[in-house]
Amino acid sequence: MPFPDIDPVAIQIGPLVIRWYALAYITGLVLGWRYCLRLTARPPHAVTREHIDDFLLWATLGVVLGGRLGYVAFYQPGYFIVHPIEIPQMWKGGMSFHGGLLGVLVAMLLYARRHGLALLNLTDIVTAGAPIGIFFGRIANFINGELWGRTTDVPWGVVFPRAGPLPRHPSQLYEAALEGLLLFTLLAAAIYAWRGLARPGLVSGLFMAGYAVARMAIEVVRQPDVQIGFLAGGSTMGQWLSIPLLLFGLYLVHRALRRTPVGSQ
Protein backbone atom coordinates (compact mmCIF):
# COMPACT_ATOMS: atom_id res chain seq x y z
CA MET A 1 0.00 0.00 0.00
CA PRO A 2 1.23 3.56 -0.63
CA PHE A 3 2.46 5.69 2.23
CA PRO A 4 -0.43 7.83 3.56
CA ASP A 5 -0.30 11.43 2.41
CA ILE A 6 0.37 13.07 5.77
CA ASP A 7 1.76 16.58 5.87
CA PRO A 8 4.58 16.57 8.46
CA VAL A 9 3.47 20.09 9.46
CA ALA A 10 0.44 19.91 11.75
CA ILE A 11 -0.09 23.64 12.29
CA GLN A 12 1.39 26.67 10.59
CA ILE A 13 0.54 30.22 11.59
CA GLY A 14 2.79 32.62 9.71
CA PRO A 15 6.39 31.80 10.66
CA LEU A 16 5.23 29.51 13.48
CA VAL A 17 5.47 25.88 12.35
CA ILE A 18 4.41 22.98 14.59
CA ARG A 19 5.20 19.52 13.24
CA TRP A 20 3.48 16.24 14.05
CA TYR A 21 6.87 14.97 15.21
CA ALA A 22 7.02 17.60 17.96
CA LEU A 23 3.35 17.17 18.86
CA ALA A 24 3.82 13.43 19.30
CA TYR A 25 6.66 13.91 21.78
CA ILE A 26 4.73 16.60 23.66
CA THR A 27 1.60 14.42 23.84
CA GLY A 28 3.61 11.44 25.08
CA LEU A 29 5.30 13.49 27.79
CA VAL A 30 2.07 15.11 28.98
CA LEU A 31 0.04 11.88 29.08
CA GLY A 32 2.93 10.01 30.72
CA TRP A 33 3.19 12.79 33.32
CA ARG A 34 -0.55 12.57 34.10
CA TYR A 35 -0.35 8.80 34.50
CA CYS A 36 2.65 9.10 36.81
CA LEU A 37 0.70 11.57 38.95
CA ARG A 38 -1.98 8.91 39.44
CA LEU A 39 0.59 6.34 40.48
CA THR A 40 1.84 8.51 43.35
CA ALA A 41 -1.41 7.66 45.16
CA ARG A 42 -0.40 4.00 45.41
CA PRO A 43 1.80 2.51 48.17
CA PRO A 44 4.56 3.01 49.20
CA HIS A 45 3.89 6.77 48.62
CA ALA A 46 7.63 7.41 48.41
CA VAL A 47 7.21 9.85 45.53
CA THR A 48 4.70 12.71 45.72
CA ARG A 49 2.69 14.55 43.08
CA GLU A 50 4.90 17.56 43.68
CA HIS A 51 7.98 15.46 42.84
CA ILE A 52 6.44 14.32 39.56
CA ASP A 53 5.34 17.86 38.66
CA ASP A 54 8.84 19.13 39.35
CA PHE A 55 10.53 16.27 37.49
CA LEU A 56 8.60 16.79 34.24
CA LEU A 57 11.03 19.43 33.01
CA TRP A 58 14.00 17.25 33.99
CA ALA A 59 12.48 14.30 32.09
CA THR A 60 11.81 16.44 29.01
CA LEU A 61 15.41 17.64 28.89
CA GLY A 62 16.68 14.09 29.47
CA VAL A 63 14.58 12.63 26.65
CA VAL A 64 15.34 15.34 24.11
CA LEU A 65 19.04 15.88 24.84
CA GLY A 66 19.82 12.24 25.55
CA GLY A 67 17.82 10.97 22.58
CA ARG A 68 19.49 13.33 20.14
CA LEU A 69 23.01 12.98 21.51
CA GLY A 70 22.57 9.21 21.63
CA TYR A 71 21.63 9.17 17.95
CA VAL A 72 24.64 11.33 17.13
CA ALA A 73 27.03 9.14 19.15
CA PHE A 74 25.61 5.67 18.38
CA TYR A 75 24.43 5.94 14.79
CA GLN A 76 26.13 8.78 12.85
CA PRO A 77 29.15 10.12 14.77
CA GLY A 78 31.25 10.62 11.62
CA TYR A 79 28.54 12.56 9.82
CA PHE A 80 27.86 14.94 12.70
CA ILE A 81 31.54 15.58 13.30
CA VAL A 82 31.62 16.98 9.76
CA HIS A 83 28.17 18.66 10.05
CA PRO A 84 27.89 19.77 13.71
CA ILE A 85 25.41 22.51 12.82
CA GLU A 86 22.82 19.78 12.11
CA ILE A 87 22.98 18.27 15.60
CA PRO A 88 20.14 20.45 16.98
CA GLN A 89 17.98 19.99 13.85
CA MET A 90 15.76 17.33 15.44
CA TRP A 91 12.78 18.12 13.22
CA LYS A 92 14.57 16.18 10.48
CA GLY A 93 14.35 13.04 12.62
CA GLY A 94 17.08 11.11 14.35
CA MET A 95 16.45 10.20 17.98
CA SER A 96 17.86 7.21 19.85
CA PHE A 97 15.72 5.46 22.43
CA HIS A 98 18.77 4.13 24.25
CA GLY A 99 20.24 7.65 24.34
CA GLY A 100 16.95 9.05 25.62
CA LEU A 101 16.86 6.37 28.32
CA LEU A 102 20.37 7.28 29.44
CA GLY A 103 19.41 10.96 29.44
CA VAL A 104 16.38 10.36 31.66
CA LEU A 105 18.40 8.04 33.92
CA VAL A 106 20.97 10.79 34.48
CA ALA A 107 18.12 13.23 35.17
CA MET A 108 16.60 10.82 37.72
CA LEU A 109 19.95 10.25 39.43
CA LEU A 110 20.49 13.98 39.82
CA TYR A 111 16.90 14.67 40.86
CA ALA A 112 16.76 11.84 43.41
CA ARG A 113 20.02 12.96 44.97
CA ARG A 114 18.90 16.57 45.13
CA HIS A 115 15.58 15.73 46.81
CA GLY A 116 16.67 12.81 48.96
CA LEU A 117 14.53 10.23 47.15
CA ALA A 118 15.21 6.51 46.83
CA LEU A 119 16.21 6.17 43.18
CA LEU A 120 14.25 2.98 42.44
CA ASN A 121 11.01 4.44 43.79
CA LEU A 122 11.36 7.27 41.29
CA THR A 123 12.43 5.08 38.37
CA ASP A 124 9.51 2.69 38.94
CA ILE A 125 6.94 5.45 38.52
CA VAL A 126 8.71 7.14 35.61
CA THR A 127 9.27 3.92 33.66
CA ALA A 128 5.62 2.94 34.19
CA GLY A 129 4.63 5.97 32.13
CA ALA A 130 7.45 5.68 29.59
CA PRO A 131 5.61 3.33 27.16
CA ILE A 132 3.08 6.11 26.56
CA GLY A 133 5.84 8.34 25.25
CA ILE A 134 7.37 5.49 23.26
CA PHE A 135 4.01 4.81 21.58
CA PHE A 136 3.63 8.39 20.37
CA GLY A 137 7.30 8.59 19.44
CA ARG A 138 6.97 5.58 17.14
CA ILE A 139 3.84 7.03 15.58
CA ALA A 140 5.91 10.16 14.92
CA ASN A 141 8.57 8.02 13.22
CA PHE A 142 5.88 6.59 10.92
CA ILE A 143 4.47 10.03 10.06
CA ASN A 144 8.01 11.21 9.32
CA GLY A 145 8.51 8.23 7.00
CA GLU A 146 11.71 7.18 8.80
CA LEU A 147 13.08 4.04 10.48
CA TRP A 148 11.13 1.80 8.10
CA GLY A 149 11.30 -1.99 7.96
CA ARG A 150 12.83 -4.41 5.50
CA THR A 151 11.22 -5.27 2.18
CA THR A 152 8.26 -7.64 2.41
CA ASP A 153 5.35 -9.15 0.50
CA VAL A 154 2.84 -9.03 3.38
CA PRO A 155 -0.47 -7.34 2.42
CA TRP A 156 0.13 -4.44 4.82
CA GLY A 157 3.57 -3.59 3.47
CA VAL A 158 4.05 0.15 2.92
CA VAL A 159 5.94 1.90 0.10
CA PHE A 160 7.79 4.65 1.95
CA PRO A 161 8.64 7.71 -0.20
CA ARG A 162 12.34 7.74 0.74
CA ALA A 163 12.88 3.97 0.78
CA GLY A 164 12.54 3.00 -2.86
CA PRO A 165 9.70 1.40 -4.83
CA LEU A 166 9.33 -1.85 -2.85
CA PRO A 167 6.85 -2.35 0.03
CA ARG A 168 8.37 -2.59 3.50
CA HIS A 169 7.32 -3.62 6.98
CA PRO A 170 5.82 -0.65 8.86
CA SER A 171 8.16 -1.50 11.73
CA GLN A 172 7.43 1.82 13.44
CA LEU A 173 3.84 0.64 14.00
CA TYR A 174 5.06 -2.75 15.25
CA GLU A 175 7.19 -0.90 17.79
CA ALA A 176 4.28 1.33 18.80
CA ALA A 177 2.26 -1.82 19.49
CA LEU A 178 4.91 -3.86 21.32
CA GLU A 179 7.13 -1.25 23.00
CA GLY A 180 4.15 1.02 23.64
CA LEU A 181 0.79 -0.65 24.12
CA LEU A 182 1.88 -4.15 25.14
CA LEU A 183 4.65 -2.97 27.46
CA PHE A 184 2.31 -0.44 29.09
CA THR A 185 -0.21 -3.23 29.74
CA LEU A 186 2.49 -5.46 31.28
CA LEU A 187 3.68 -2.74 33.63
CA ALA A 188 0.13 -1.76 34.59
CA ALA A 189 -0.58 -5.40 35.46
CA ALA A 190 2.55 -5.51 37.60
CA ILE A 191 1.46 -2.36 39.44
CA TYR A 192 -2.24 -3.02 39.94
CA ALA A 193 -2.35 -6.83 40.18
CA TRP A 194 1.03 -7.63 41.76
CA ARG A 195 1.61 -4.50 43.90
CA GLY A 196 4.65 -3.77 41.80
CA LEU A 197 5.44 -0.37 43.31
CA ALA A 198 5.81 -2.01 46.73
CA ARG A 199 8.76 -3.96 45.31
CA PRO A 200 11.27 -1.23 44.40
CA GLY A 201 12.97 -1.99 41.10
CA LEU A 202 10.38 -4.46 39.81
CA VAL A 203 8.61 -2.10 37.43
CA SER A 204 11.90 -0.58 36.28
CA GLY A 205 13.34 -4.03 35.60
CA LEU A 206 10.25 -5.20 33.74
CA PHE A 207 10.34 -2.07 31.62
CA MET A 208 14.00 -2.52 30.68
CA ALA A 209 13.74 -6.24 29.99
CA GLY A 210 10.39 -5.91 28.21
CA TYR A 211 11.59 -3.12 25.96
CA ALA A 212 14.81 -4.99 25.17
CA VAL A 213 12.96 -8.16 24.15
CA ALA A 214 10.47 -6.24 22.01
CA ARG A 215 13.18 -4.17 20.33
CA MET A 216 15.42 -7.16 19.63
CA ALA A 217 12.48 -9.02 18.08
CA ILE A 218 11.39 -6.12 15.87
CA GLU A 219 14.96 -5.55 14.68
CA VAL A 220 14.52 -8.79 12.71
CA VAL A 221 12.20 -6.93 10.30
CA ARG A 222 13.48 -3.38 10.77
CA GLN A 223 15.94 -2.03 8.21
CA PRO A 224 19.27 -1.16 9.85
CA ASP A 225 20.54 2.39 9.49
CA VAL A 226 22.30 2.59 6.14
CA GLN A 227 25.48 4.09 7.61
CA ILE A 228 25.85 1.11 9.97
CA GLY A 229 24.20 -1.83 8.23
CA PHE A 230 24.32 -5.32 9.65
CA LEU A 231 26.81 -6.32 12.32
CA ALA A 232 28.21 -9.72 13.33
CA GLY A 233 25.97 -12.64 12.41
CA GLY A 234 23.36 -10.40 10.79
CA SER A 235 22.68 -8.59 14.08
CA THR A 236 21.95 -4.87 14.33
CA MET A 237 23.05 -1.96 16.48
CA GLY A 238 19.61 -1.84 18.11
CA GLN A 239 19.98 -5.45 19.24
CA TRP A 240 23.46 -4.92 20.68
CA LEU A 241 22.38 -1.83 22.57
CA SER A 242 19.45 -3.79 24.01
CA ILE A 243 21.54 -6.63 25.47
CA PRO A 244 22.85 -4.71 28.53
CA LEU A 245 19.35 -3.30 29.01
CA LEU A 246 17.91 -6.83 29.09
CA LEU A 247 20.53 -8.14 31.53
CA PHE A 248 20.23 -5.22 33.94
CA GLY A 249 16.42 -5.38 33.76
CA LEU A 250 16.42 -9.08 34.65
CA TYR A 251 18.78 -8.35 37.53
CA LEU A 252 16.42 -5.70 38.92
CA VAL A 253 13.42 -8.04 38.61
CA HIS A 254 15.28 -10.87 40.37
CA ARG A 255 16.43 -8.50 43.12
CA ALA A 256 12.94 -7.07 43.64
CA LEU A 257 11.22 -10.46 43.83
CA ARG A 258 13.64 -11.70 46.48
CA ARG A 259 12.70 -8.87 48.81
CA THR A 260 9.62 -8.52 50.97
CA PRO A 261 7.17 -5.96 49.58
CA VAL A 262 7.25 -2.62 51.38
CA GLY A 263 4.48 -2.47 53.98
CA SER A 264 4.09 -6.27 54.30
CA GLN A 265 6.09 -6.60 57.50
- DSSP states of 125-170: HHHHHHHHHHHHHHHHHHHTT-S-B-B--STT-BB-TTS-SS-B--
Residue 256's pLDDT is 96
29 belongs to a structural domain: yes
Say which residue, 185 or 11, is predicted with more confidence.
185
pLDDT at 114 over 60: yes
pLDDT above 80 (res 95) = no
- What's the rounded mean pLDDT across residues 134-142? 91
In this predicted model, what pLDDT tens digit does every residue of 166-175 receive, in sequence order? Answer: 999 999 999 9
Q: Write down the pLDDT at residue 263.
A: 64
Determine, yes or no, domain membership for 264: no
pLDDT averaged over the chain? 90
pLDDT of residue 150: 97
Give, to the nearest 10 degrees, the angle between helix 20-39 and helix 49-74.
140
Residue 185 sits in which domain range? 9-195
Confidence at 91, pLDDT banded by 50, 70, 90: low
Q: Which residues pair with 15 in a beta bridge?
A: none
- Residue 140 belongs to a domain: yes
Residue 235 placed within a domain:
no
d(CA 259, CA 264): 11
Residue 13 has pLDDT above 80, yes or no: yes
Nearest partner of 106 among 52, 64, 53, 47, judged by Cα: 64
Q: What is the mean pLDDT of residues 164-185?
A: 97
Task: Confirm whether 204 is domain-assigned.
Answer: no
pLDDT of residue 122: 96
Strand partners, 13: 16
Instruction: Inform me whether the pLDDT recorded for 265 exceeds 60.
Output: no
Please classify residue 8 by burial: count the beta carbons closer than 10 Å to its beta carbon, then call 0-12 exposed, 13-18 middle and 19+ buried: middle
Residue type, 144: N
Q: What is the pLDDT of residues 26-59, one digit of tens each?
A: 899 899 999 999 999 998 999 999 999 999 999 8
pLDDT at 136 over 50: yes
Using the predicted structure, report yes or no on whether residue 101 has a pLDDT greater than 70. Answer: yes
Q: How confident is the model at residue 148 (pLDDT cuts 50, 70, 90)?
A: very high
pLDDT above 60 (res 218): yes
Find the mean pLDDT for residues 149-171. Answer: 95
Mean pLDDT of 85-92: 76
Query: How many structural domains is the chain composed of?
Result: 1
Confirm whether 21 is domain-assigned: yes
Residue 209 lies in a domain: no
In a domain, 230, yes or no: no
User: Is the model more confident about 140 or about 210?
Assistant: 210
**Contacts with 99 (C-beta within 8 Å, 6 or more apart), sequence order:** 66, 67, 68, 69, 70, 71, 73, 74
